[in-house]
Structures are given as C-alpha cells and as structure tokens.
Amino acid sequence: MFGYILQRLLSTIPVVILVAIFVFVLLRLAPGDPAAVIAGDNANAEQIALIRTKLGLDQPIYTQFFLWIGHLIQGDFGESFFFKKSVGELIASRIEPTIALSLATITLAVIIAVPLGVLAAYKHGTAIDKFVMGFSVLGFSVPIFVVGYLLIYVFAIKLNLLPVQGYQRIGDGVGGFLLRLVLPTVTLSVAYVALIARMTRTSVLDVMGEDYVRTARAKGQVERIVLFKHALKNAAVPIVTVIGLGIAGLIGGVVVTESVYSIPGVGRLTVDAVLARDYPTIQAIILMFSLVYVFINLAVDLVYRIFDPRIRY
C-alpha cells in the first residue's frame, strides 16, 4: 500500500511538468496582451511596449518559461501582473472560501443524494422513484446561475431570510460564516445531488438482485440493514468514483457560484485572471487544480479498498 502511494505520488511529477509546459505555451498562444490591458485605452504602442519590457514579456518564450520554472522550483509562483502581490499570497488569501464552499457542497450533496438514490432504487418504478429521477433531470438541466438567482429571489429578496451576497471568514464568526454559505452551497449542490442520486440508484439497483441481498433478506435482516449495509456497500465503488469526479469537477461550478454570490474565492480569481491575461496567476491556479485532481483520484482509489477488500494495490 505504501509503495503504491509512493509510486502514485512520484507519477504526479511528469503530469505536473506536462501541465506546466502545456499551460505556459497555451497562454502565450492565446490572444490577448496583459501589457495592453494594463496600459488602458489611451495608451500608444510605445507605452505598451514599455510595460511589456517591465513584465518581461519581450523575452523569448523559452527564456520566460525557464525563468518561471526556476522560480517555481524554489516555491515562488511569481508576481501577479495586476495586483503586484506574490501569486502564492494571492491564492492563499482566496482559498478559504473555495474550500469551504466545495466541502459544504459535497457534504450536503452526499447526505441528501445517497439516501435519495437508495430510496429510488428500493421504490423502483413507483412515484417516488419517478420523482427522484425527475428531480435529477431537472438538477442536471438547469444552469447553476439560474438556480442561484432563483434562490436569491425567494430566500433573500422575498423572504429576507438570508444575505444576497458576500462571504464571511470563519475566523470572524461561525454564525455569519454559515449564514452566508447556505445559499451558495444549496445552489451548487443541486447538480451534484442529481448526479450522485442517479448513480446511487443505478448501482443499488444493479446489486439488489444479487444472491447476497436475497440471502440477507432470507436471514430476516430488516430492510434498512439490507439496503444500507449489504446493497449500498457493494454498490459503493461507482458511487465513490462519481463523488471523486464531482469534487474535482466542482471547480467549474465554483467559478459560477462565486460570481453570482460575490464570494472572493479562487474560482473568481481564475475568471479575473483569465480576463486580464494575468499569466502568472493563471499558471499557478491551473497547476494547483491539476495537483488537486491527481490527489483526489489517488484518494478515490484508496477508498475503493474500504468498500471492496478484494481490491489489491
């Protein structure tokens, strides 16, 4: 097991290097010029060229790349073109809201979706099943920003129960932190509840006809134990996969949700950085997200064994 983890961790190195090269080259090939953006509308070519020189953008791409890699090896992500702050510092200041939102979302989604999926499988073909599946289709189909605005309209504007926007750091009070997290979490959870519930229903349905389920029932086990201990445990591997992919895929949803609720997280930083062509910030964020993706995949692989001891590494 330890050898497997070490091997997987070492295998992330070439992945990260490839991602770094790919992102760097892609950004330089993409249209847009940070110097022109910084200079503003009234700047002439001379002023823009001066800024390009100051930012080092007049250097050949390979020189820029090796300079960046050199700093990266020393743990230095560079300085944001726009904020004149170190990118590491910038990301660190924006990470808490994103982590809080992602964790809350996936926790809420799992708590709601897994029992819902199990229930739908158990009540297969009934109105309950159709309702859960109908909700799943709706959850997939409605864009996140529509859900967001709808929830704001009902719970913030009409009922005046929750704030419209903003984020409060946990250090500034747990009450305010939770209050401001409710609507964004629910907004972002809708799609994940739909996804996980659907996968849970399918997986549980697949194992419901297996011999061990019939045996458990024949032994007189109560239905709750049959469903959650025998059926769900054996159906867990694909569900865990979906949850893992869901966590990795949260990035996209977080970007929209953070914008709608004005949460100063990494998602919004990504959008701002892309729009401003802030190369050092974009490069660092993509590298960070690829590392997160690799580690989540590793964690998912390790969790498989908890549910299926036959899996060996």
Partner 1 sequence: MHRLLKSLAVVCTIATAPSLAQAQTTLRAVMQSDLKILDPIWTGATITQHHGYLIYDTLFALDANGDVQPQMVEKYDESADKLTYVFTLRDGLLWHDGAAVTAEDCIASIKRWSARDPLGQKLAGFIETMTADSDRTFTIKLRSQTGHLLSGLAKPAANVPFMMPKRIAETDPTKQITEYVGSGPFVFKSDEWKPGNKTVYVKFDKYKPRAEPPSGLAGGKIPYLDRVEWLAVTDKMSALNALLQGEIDYVEGVPHDYIQLLQDSPGIVLFLRKKLSNQIVLRPNHLHKPFDNPKARQALWYALNQKDFLDAVVGNPNYYAVCKSYFICGTALASPVGMEDLLTSDAAKARALLKESGYDGAPIVLMQATDTLMVNAPPVAKALLEKAGFNVDMQAMDWQTQVARRQRKVPPDAGGWSLSLSSFDSAEIMDPMVTAMMNASCDKGLAGWPCDSGIEKLRDDFARATTLPEKQKIVEAIQIREREIVTHVPLGQWYSAGAYRKNVDGLVDGLALGFWNIKKKN
Binding stretches for partner 1 (CB under 8 A): 31-33, 36-46, 48, 50, 54, 82-85, 90, 93-94, 149, 152, 156-157, 160, 163-167, 259-262, 264, 268-269, 271-272, 275-277
Token reading at 223: 């239905």
Beta carbon of residue 116, minimum distance to partner 1 (angstroms, whole number):
30
* HEC secondary structure over 244-311: HHHHHHHHHHHHHHHHHCCCCCHHHHHHHHHHHCCHHHHHHHHHHHHHHHHHHHHHHHHHHHHHCCCC
Token reading at 259: 């914008």
How many separate helices (H) and strands (E) can be counted in the chain?
14, 0
Beta carbon of residue 261, minimum distance to partner 1 (angstroms, whole number):
7
182 vs 207, beta carbon nearer partner 1:
182
Beta carbon of residue 155, minimum distance to partner 1 (angstroms, whole number):
11
Return the sign of the alpha-carbon dihedral for residues 129, 131, 134, 136: negative
User: 309 phi and psi, to 5 degrees?
Assistant: -65, -15
35 vs 300, beta carbon nearer partner 1:
35
178 vs 303, beta carbon nearer partner 1:
178
Q: Which of 59, 31, 86 is nearest to 280 (CA)?
A: 86
33 vs 223, beta carbon nearer partner 1:
33
Beta carbon of residue 81, minimum distance to partner 1 (angstroms, whole number):
9
Beta carbon of residue 190, minimum distance to partner 1 (angstroms, whole number):
18
96 vs 206, beta carbon nearer partner 1:
96
